[in-house]
Amino acid sequence: MLDSSDSRTARRAGTRGVPRPIREGQILDVAGRVFAARGYHAASMDEIAAQADVTKPLIYAYFGSKERLYVACIERAGQELLARLRAATVPTAPEIERLHAGVLEFLHFVDERRDGWQVLYSEAAARGGPLAKEVASLREAVAKMIKRLLTHSTNRGEPSAETDAELDGVSHAFVGAGESLANWWLAHPELRAERAAELLMALGRAGVQQATEMTSTQAPRVPQDPTR
């Protein structure tokens, strides 16, 4: 299945004496690629070691376990994503523009760092173990960012507990929409990033609208048909 590259026979190039941080970087790069390509469970330390041109004991010396290696990958990609989102959404701009900028930045991240993105997304739904937690908490972080944007853009005092839950819901829905669109987009590059962002923004604006209604009046349960 893995070609003929038996991990035992793999001729190692034998780069020795590389300083630790650099090696860690190399390893994380490869690990990210492999995890993205195969998913956590199906990825094997053997393959990662072979592709990183390093022996397994070294990986264990540096990362301790497969799980910790995986977490390190997620962390790296996740922190980068968060940082880019933060940097892109300067607080002085109007909320709607911040959202737009964030969405665009997200799409760029996905585009540029396919592997990083896939590793984040691929196990997003996997259950069990502490693996899911790591990813889930990242989604939570992004959802929180979105929620803040939604809330702030309609500043009318503290939302009620019920309204707060609904805001959470909308945020998660929006995050999911972004993920799903991003994944579809990876397979359909004919759509320009700006246009893809537009599509998402349409949903975002709907979210803001919804949020506005929710925080102002008790939202009507059956809104009249807007297409009328």
192 lies in the binding site for DNA (CB under 7 A): no
- Residue closer to DNA by CB (options 43, 119) is 43
172 forms part of the interface with a second copy (CB under 8 A): yes
Residue 209 binds a second copy (CB under 8 A): yes
Instruction: Rule CB under 8 A: choose which of 42, 83, 87, 90 binds a second copy.
Output: 42
Which of a second copy, DNA, none does residue 127 bind to, with CB < 5 to 8 Å depending on kind? a second copy
Q: Considering beta carbons, is residue 70 or 185 the nearer one to DNA? A: 70
User: Does 210 contact a second copy by CB under 8 A?
Assistant: yes
- 51 binds, options DNA, a second copy, none, Cβ within 5 to 8 A by partner type: none
Question: Cα dihedral sign for 125, 79, 119, 34?
Answer: negative
Q: Which of 153, 135, 137 is nearest to 89 (CA)?
A: 153
Tokens (6 digits) for 121: 């997304």
Between 11 and 228, name the residue whose CB sits nearer to DNA.
11
Tell which one of 9, 14, 157, 225 touches DNA (CB under 7 A). 14
Our finding on whether 228 is near DNA (CB under 7 A) is no
How far is 73 from 70, CA to CA, in rounded Å?
5
Judged by beta carbon distances under 5 to 8 A according to partner kind, the member of DNA, a second copy, none in contact with residue 144 is none
Q: Cα-flanking dihedrals φ and ψ of residue 226, to 5°?
A: -75, -15
Residues making contact with DNA (CB under 7 A): 1, 12, 14-20, 23, 43-46, 54-58, 60-61, 64-67
Residues making contact with a second copy (CB under 8 A): 6, 8, 36-42, 61-62, 64, 94, 96, 118, 121-129, 153, 162, 165-166, 168-170, 172-181, 183-185, 188, 190-191, 194-196, 198-200, 202-203, 205-210, 212, 219, 221, 225-227
